[in-house]
Structure 1
Amino acid sequence: MEKNRNYLLAIVLSVAIIAVWQIFYMNPRLEAQRAAQEAQQAKIAEQQKTTASSDAAPAVAGADKPVAGALPAGAAGTEKISREAALTAAPRVAIDTPDLKGSINLVGARLDDLELKGYHETVDKSSPIITLLSPANTKDGYFAELGYIADSAAGKMPGPTTEWTLSKGDKLTPTTPVELTYTNDAGITFVRTISVDDHYMFTVKDKIENAGSAPVSIAGYGRITRNNKPDDRSTYVLHEGFLGVIGTDGSLVEEKYSAIEKENYVNPKATGGWIGITDKYWATAIVPPQTIAFDSRFSHFTDGKPRFQADYKDDGVTIAPGQSTQVINMVFAGAKEVPVVNSYADNMHITKFDKLIDWGWFYFITKPMFAVMDFFYKFFGNFGVAILMTTIVVKALFFPLASKQYASMANMKRMQPKMEELKKKFGDDRMGLQQATMQLYKEEKINPVAGCWPVLLQIPVFFSLYKVIYVTIEMRHAPFFGWIRDLSAPDPTSFVNLFGLLPFEAPTALHLGIWPIIMGITMFLQMRMNPTPPDPAQKMIFTWMPVVFTFMLGSFPAGLVIYWAWNNTLSIIQQSIIMRRHGVKVELFDNLKTLFRRKPKPAE
């Protein structure tokens, strides 16, 4: 029928788009990820061999004029030294929390040494833990810094090269804050108290005392600076790069690294909000004082020391002689764990801080879906089982729609004999056939479009689940059973090397594991629930579509493939029940017999 041709054509075009995206975008990206992982240890070894003599702080604002007045500049040297050498080149105070370890650089009071205790570079628990922040003069320099700006009458303000004095505490822990002090040549004293919670949020309280004889106006600044982009190339599925919420009522601003390399982005002046830099699973963000207006920007500098930078400069405060004031900043540096990030948004009242996690356009579906999945994970202790249980919940929610879809398909099959009669009656009279067909639909109360709507409505759910599995850190290195040790990575087995029996890895384009094959079989069986189309072109699509999807999903996250295979299985059971209710024969076994029955040889 014409409707079936259009429906199959839409499916073919969708498959073609996804296949092109997979072959020319996702496959090269996955190859790059694999190469980056293999090069990780070599990179670390190379850094160990690098030597140099100084730890020069890069310029805050570089050659460009900053958003609202000059930010302090340090030396823009290009020498790089090893991370170990950089950590011993300046006095430091240790950081030790349940989730973090590292140190604060007393030169600049920088947060530039931070490792995440709970996360390893690979699924192997003996692999190194994730390094998030590193000193500026290392190859992968990445740090957060807070300082001040004033005119020359106020003396030298604390900035990148200021050496603070540790006046209280010897280690920063959740129960023991540390206190740093600095007094400049104009008699202005800065007392900085740094505290940290059990997770990833640092609170920096600066008490500024003016012991001079004249009032001073001091503006605060903050910046997050990193030398390089992440090794893994980004994908459209999630955002990596600059982001922030500018203003208490502001919306999320996102800018890719590639866009900032072409042109710096200046945010409008606002009061409230936050700015930062995010990777897939990690992020660093500064929450400026929420009662002082600030300018902010996202920049890329190439003035001798290439770097990316998110910075802000506030309108400042005026301090009378003999008076003091307090300025509070917060710095997030760590893993984007959903409950932790949500708690900062809710309990600390940080505007839209939950947007630090890229939930996507369908966030109103994605976030509840994660909540359901997380509930089942806490109950069963396995995210793979949580995916299976979430699929059952989704199928239950869509059961009324699916019933209408399968009922429509059953009614269409019941009408096939009458449709064949109309075709014979009208022959080449297409207009007459169309009018008679519509009249038949009306008499039998059949809506041919009813079967399509449930499929369309479930597409956002599918992509939302893909988003949850791909983006949330809770899925990272989460095992299922057997050989699936990471639900966020593709099935590691492949038929090319006989599922691991042969000692080599399959190319990404040919990678096809056990779970994608299971998914392909379930999709094949689901399609065989209906009669094979008589048209040769439609028959070819009907036959080869499961094969195309099987290879296409071979490099998708294992969690998504498991979901799809399980969803197909539930759909087969559901469709069988509904078809029997409507008195329509289930074609699966007859179609399989016909497919595998040996055809008689033509008579000679």
Structure 2
Amino acid sequence: MDIKRVILATILSALVLLGFDYFMPENKTPAAIQGKPGAQQTVSSVTPPQAALSPLAGSSAESDDSSSPSRLPIDAVDVSGSVNLRGARLDDLVLRDYHETVKQDSPLVRVLEERGGKEPNYIEFGWSGSPGQNIRLPDAHSLWKTSAPKLTSGTPVTLDWDNGAGLTFELELSVDRDYMFAVTQRVRNATGREVSLVPYSRVVRGYTPVETGGMLVHEGPISVIGGRLAEESYKSLREGSTAPNYVSWTKSARGGWAGITDKYWLAAVIPDQAADVTGTYGFDTPDGAYQVGFAREKPLLIAPDGTGETVDHVFAGAKEVRLLERYQHELNIPDFWKAVDFGWFAFLTRPVFFVLDWLYQQLGSFALALLAFTLIVKALFFPLASKGFRAAAAMREVAPKIQAIRERYKDNPVEMNQKVMALYREEGVSPASGCLPLLIQAPVFWCLYKDLYVTIEMRHAPFVGWIHDLSAPDPTNILNLFGLIPFDPTHISTVLWLGAWPIIYGLTIWLMQRSNPAATDPVQKQVFMMMPVIFTMFMARQPVGLVIYYCWNNLLTIGQQALIKRAHANGKKKPKTTILPPLKGKG
């Protein structure tokens, strides 16, 4: 195997894949978003699109906190928090199994926070009246009563509020062992006349977060409505939402889901999958709040002494891949797995993740799964590696002839190229044959990079020694001799950060180069001399799991190359069998 071709193939494939993902973003947005900012689809006149995105009443007047008696505690298996009975908002939720940092005494991850908090992020439910009706409806100030003192994974709770004019509104809440809430909105009509109401649910975020995913991960409003994935940026919502409705985009369809996603966490509302609904994105400019939600496309008609209800779900938690897949099948949520941004190459990145996850289940460690995965990849691509080595060896044998042609026809480039191509055909070689087998492996490297970056299963997954999070860069730093000097280098530009594993990776690149003949071309020689340094700097701030993978991969490549060289040398040493012509008989 020609190591120079390995390195060149890796560089080219990485540039192609990164460039494709950056310059050709996936068209994930329905046609309604692609028009003029603020353009909306036409919806039924009885259900204005702002039903799920009405201005936030009383946003500045509240000062509720988790210790207030107007709260219903949540004590479930994987989540804890409370429901604000003032407005019936789900606005206080932490995840029991996830900490903010690798330290076990660090705070638990908070996915929902009250309106007056540092990072407001909550879920609201409500009703809007049809035009011409004068009905008192619950709002942000309404104080709801509760049927039980606590909401647990095995104990549903019903909240109720009476408007004093014959209508009783109810919210029946239940939560499973993970992150899914079932919400039944119900209205009992004792007014003596028919009532027409539109139920809605929405996710509200009252701040603009720092997006950490860059070009690799979408963070912000997300939905699957009408079978199409729609991802929008916070900026597009701010620029596209105008008064009085503050609606940026709407789409009507049957079922779906919508919410606001972070790199690892998701808050989403999921309507009845059999109901016709209108999904809406917007930005409430006066309140500074992003809103993503659903409203029924047609109002519920509640007869006198009758009851109307709708059953929705709310997901608020970690984007665990297998959990999302399970909810997708159990609740018939369309493409719920797309909450994890597997990107353009999801048809590859997802299978690679499931292989890694299966290896983790068998070995009990994602680090060991990573090493085992590398061995599997090497074994699968060994025939390609052997083919690439033979092709490179053949090219080296004809290199003197090619150089002679270039010297002879240096003043006639056209004839020179013709002679070189004729030589390729005569010798049965191709300059690309050594690189193409290696380029085929590039998607595997990209898939691993993407999976390490976007899946929560890799978050805080430890390795040996000082590595406690495979998805984060190496925490050590050469500037303080990897912790031996009492000096904190974190205030220095990250460009100068070099951890131990990136340096080890650079050494493996150097070893790979040493195992091959040195380049004869002066320019090429200088380029390959700088490659270990360039690659070390490039990998310094990448997920350390990826760096470890490449270190292990490079060492295996060196061993694989030695085996192929030995087999190739043994094959060349075998004497050719001479077949003698048969002796002629005397007769």
The TM tier, using the shorter chain, reads 0.7 to 0.9
Alpha-carbon separation, structure 1, partners of 2:18 and 2:340? 25
Task: From 234, 237, 244, give the equivalent of 1:260.
Answer: 237
Q: Deviations over 1:301-335 (max 9, x none)?
A: 231x3121112222221122222233101000011
**Contact 1:153–1:186 at 8 Å: present in 2 too?**
no
RMSD: 2.9
Verify: 1:172 aligned to 2:158, yes or no. no
The CA deviation at 1:187 is 1.5
Looking at structure 2, the residues matched to 214 and 76 of structure 1 have their Cα atoms a distance apart, in angstroms, of 30
Q: 1:269 to 1:90 in 2, by over 3 A?
A: farther
Within 5 Å, which residues of 2 pair with 1:60-459? 67-68=49-50, 73-78=55-60, 86-89=65-68, 91-151=70-130, 153=133, 155-167=135-147, 169-247=148-226, 250-264=227-241, 265-303=248-286, 305-314=287-296, 315-423=298-406, 425-426=408-409, 428-459=411-442
Q: Extract unaligned runs of 5+ from structure 1.
A: 23-64, 587-604
Cα distance change, pair 70–453 in 1 and its aligned pair in 2 (3 A): closer
Corresponding residue number in structure 2 for 1:536: 522
Give the number of the structure with larger relative contact order, counting CA–CA contacts within 8 Å between residues 6 or more apart. 2
**Corresponding residue SS for 2:353:** helix
1:182 Cα shift?
A: 2.1
Matched, 1:546 2:532: yes
Aligned length: 532
Change (3 A) 1:377 1:541: same
What residue in structure 2 maps to residue 521 of structure 1? 507
Q: Which amino acid aligns with 1:375?
A: W
Alpha-carbon shift at residue 416 of structure 1 (Å) = 2.5
Alpha carbons of structure 1 residues 16 and 175: separation in structure 2 relative to 1, 3 Å: closer
Offset of residue 386 of structure 1: 1.0
Deviations 1:93-119 (CA, angstroms, capped at 9, x unpaired): 111112100011112211001011111
The answer on 1:558 being equivalent to 2:558 is no
Which stretch of the first structure deviates more once superposed, 328-337 or 576-585?
576-585
Give the TM-score, by structure 1 length.
0.82
Task: Give the distance between the partners of 1:11 and 1:74, measured in 2 at CA.
Answer: 51
Name the CA shift for 1:18/1:93 in 2 (closer, same or farther; >3 Å): closer
Identify the residue that residue 502 of structure 1 maps to in structure 2.
485
Aligned twin of 2:583: none
Q: Give the Cα–Cα distance (whole angstroms) in 2 for the partners of residues 297 and 77 of structure 1.
A: 20
- TM normalised by structure 2 equals 0.84
Residues 227, 306 of structure 1: 8 Å contact kept: yes
Shift of 1:204: 0.6
Secondary structure of 2:65's counterpart equals helix
1:47-102 alpha-carbon deviations (Å, 9 max, x no partner)? xxxxxxxxxxxxxxxxxx96255865554454786xxx622345111111121000
Residue 52 (structure 1) aligns with? none
Alpha-carbon offset, residue 369 of structure 1: 0.9
- What SS does the aligned partner of 2:569 have? coil
Matched letter for residue 510 of structure 1: L
Gap regions ≥5 residues in structure 2: 23-46, 242-247, 573-587
> Secondary structure at 1:243's aligned position in 2?
strand
Cα distance in 1 between the residues matched to 2:183 and 2:251:
25
1:462, distance to aligned residue in structure 2 (A) = 1.5
C-alpha change, 1:499 and 1:79, in structure 2 (3 Å) is farther
Tell me how far apart the structure 2 counterparts of residues 585 and 276 of structure 1 sit (CA, whole Å): 62
Distance in 2, Cα, partners of 1:385 & 1:70 = 47
Q: 1:363 to 1:70 in 2, by over 3 A?
A: closer
Measure the CA separation in 2 of the matches of 1:70 and 1:347: 26
Quote how far apart the aligned CAs of 1:220 are.
0.8
SS at match of 1:582: helix
How many Å separate the matches in 2 of 1:365 and 1:12? 19
Q: Which residue of 1 aligns with 2:577?
A: none
Residue by residue over 1:562-588, the C-alpha shift from the partner in whole angstroms, topping out at 9 and shown as x without a partner, is 0111111122222222233333999xx
Structure 2 SS opposite 1:486 = coil
Hey, what's the Cα distance between the residues in 1 that align with 2:513 and 2:209? 42
Shift of 1:348: 1.2
The answer (yes or no) to whether the contact 1:12–1:541 under 8 Å persists in 2 is no
Contact 1:579–1:585 (CA<8 Å) still a contact in 2?
A: no
